[in-house]
Amino acid sequence: MDQGMAADLAETPVGPARFGLLAAGVAGAALRVAPGPVGERAWTDGRVIFLDAESTVPEQITAIAVQASMVAAGSFDSEVVRRLVRRPFPVLQRYLLLEGHRALAANADLLPVVAGSLFDPETAELSDCAATSLALAMGKHPLDDPPREFGAIHPKRLLTAQEKLAERAAPDARPPDSADPEDESPDEQDDDESGGKLPALFDNVVGGQGPLARLFRRMLSLGRESEGGITGGGVPKSARALVKPGRINTGGTGTPIAADAVADLRRDGLSYPEWDVHRRRYRPGWCTVAESDPRPGDHPIPLAPVSNALMRALARLRSSLDHKHRRMQGDDIDVDAVVDERVQLLSGASPDGAVYIESVRCTPDLAVVVLLDISGSAALPSISGGTVHDQQRTAALMLTSALHALGNRVSLYGFYSQGRSAVRALRVKRFDDPLDAAALRRLAALEPAAYTRMGAAIRHGTTIAGEYRSAARTLLVVLSDGLAYDHGYEGAYAESDARRALSEARRQGIGCVCMSVGSETETDALRRVFGTAAHAAVAHPGEVSQVVAPLFRDALRSADLRRRISRARAS
């Protein structure tokens, strides 16, 4: 054996460590595998999965699938882990059961065969996020013990690892999501927009559709983040709850008569379910949302501010690279085409030589629904001057104007509520309306009032987005201070319903972005309402351009993944 081969073999991982690629692919983030004490159940600190080195290979693969899926699903969120530290062992076991099933169900498309049938769909549907699982684990609802394959959770070890990671990351005070778009070179922008050259290369090599291809895309495209982002709030947004609510489908109307009928129905009011986290079931037809125009007034018409930074950030999202296979020229080799060409040559045929992958810049179809929270809490003073309503209304106008100017279809609605049967969606601009003086007058007429039944408003926004199911990509943008409150709608109940409504939208392939502008609402409170949906809080509208690109991009990628998973399950 020559020295080079011996060196390669010496560097090849052995034992559980050889499954590091599998762990990272399933988790969608940097994750290693290492041997742990013999006989100890598998566990992770968020960066390394520790396995019993003497367990069988199928047992090791199954344990990796469970622990890595929980990393992907945000099961080890720092706030939840902190609350688990002093909980008794039965609570930890109940939490592990709920999160294990939820994470495996959300990650079903990426699981190895030996772990594919491990989760129970009914148990998976009990929870929609880690916080809900914690609440259920601390409750009195009877639950079984988790299977041994689920391993264990060690909150103190997780928290220690997270704190050490935070200490090392402290000098770098600028978060990735706050990067200034103007600081990026054109080359960096193109690479980031297309998902990076390395992920594209691996997509091509593995053929694009097999299990290995999905793992490479998950690891290299969805999970390109630092090790510091896999245990806290920066979890991949591909982790979604399995939700089967009863919902009204008014989208896809193909004729003017049908469109008018839908408009009449929406004016009269549409009924939506509401998620009851305490009873772990939906209340069908519980809320009614009616559309109307804002009351006219003598308000000054707001100017549509033009932000060059915001326009650049959104323009990069609008244009992307599409990879065309079996082309006569290109910048990469199409492996499948090469194999087919070789087969044709051996059979005596004359192939055409189309064995390349060509990257072509395209303009995807994008439809965006902007929901502006105009409840009474928006009248509170803003941290940057004026009121929260002033700041969020300006941000809504900036986003709508920029998206409209770039040729995207965009609609804008304000919303508030006065009880479950009186949720109001005030039209500022529908998809087909021009952004003219009349639309600006309607925007100026919006004034803070009443309360916020967040879940019903989000579900109605999902219905509006459904009007353009033909669009290649759809986004739902919620501008709110995150204070979900109405008659009989508060606390954990309201927060869980809002998270569930966002999960329902994502399950339909709609990307969800939530932003708080100028509000004093704490980050933890926003996370409880918005869950794992892409969200951010900024002090004033001028900072929206700094966060909009990563938020929109993450939401669109998550929606694309959820759409592919739904299609795969349907087939």
Cβ neighbours, 10 Å, residue 563: 18
The tokens of 472 are what?
Answer: 């290649």
| Domain-ending residue, one of 167, 197, 215 | 167
Cα first-last separation, the chain: 49
The tokens of 284 are what?
Answer: 């069908």
Q: Which residue shows structure tokens 């935070």? A: 166
Same domain? 351 vs 446: no
**Within a domain: 24:** yes
**Within a domain: 200:** no
Same domain? 356 vs 378: no
Phi, psi of 370 (to 5 degrees): -105, 120
| Total of domains in the chain | 3
Local structure of 121: helix, strand or coil: helix
Q: Which residue shows structure tokens 């890595």? A: 68
Same domain? 161 vs 113: yes
pLDDT in tens, 177-230: 333 333 333 333 333 333 333 343 334 443 444 444 555 555 544 433 333 333
Same domain? 370 vs 358: no
Same domain? 327 vs 414: no
Under a CB-based contact definition with an 8 Å cutoff, are residues 354 and 327 in contact?
yes
Range of the domain at 347: 320-362
Q: Across the strands, what pairs with 44? A: 49
Burial of 319 (0-12, 13-18, 19+ CB in 10 A): middle
Same domain? 72 vs 98: yes
CATH number at residue 541: 3.40.50.410
Burial of 537 (0-12, 13-18, 19+ CB in 10 A): buried
pLDDT in tens, 245-280: 333 333 333 334 344 444 555 667 899 999 999 999
| Domain-ending residue, one of 305, 335, 362 | 362
Tell me the HSE value of 251 on the side-chain side, using a 13 A CA sphere.
18
Q: Across the strands, what pairs with 157? A: none
**Within a domain: 110:** yes
- DSSP annotation of 432: T
Same domain? 48 vs 62: yes
pLDDT in tens, 130-182: 877 888 888 877 888 899 989 999 999 998 888 887 666 444 433 333 333 33
Please report which helix (H) or strand (E) contains residue 112, including its range.
none
Note the pLDDT of residue 264. 52
- DSSP annotation of 301: P
In the chain, how many H helices and how many E strands? 20, 14
Helix extents (H) in 406-490:
437-444, 454-465
pLDDT in tens, 340-349: 888 788 787 8
**Within a domain: 128:** yes
Same domain? 350 vs 458: no
Q: Across the strands, what pairs with 426? A: 292, 414
The tokens of 159 are what?
Answer: 């928290």
Q: Is the pLDDT of residue 408 over 80?
A: yes
Same domain? 374 vs 346: no
Note the pLDDT of residue 386. 92
Same domain? 41 vs 21: yes
Same domain? 406 vs 502: yes
**Within a domain: 437:** yes
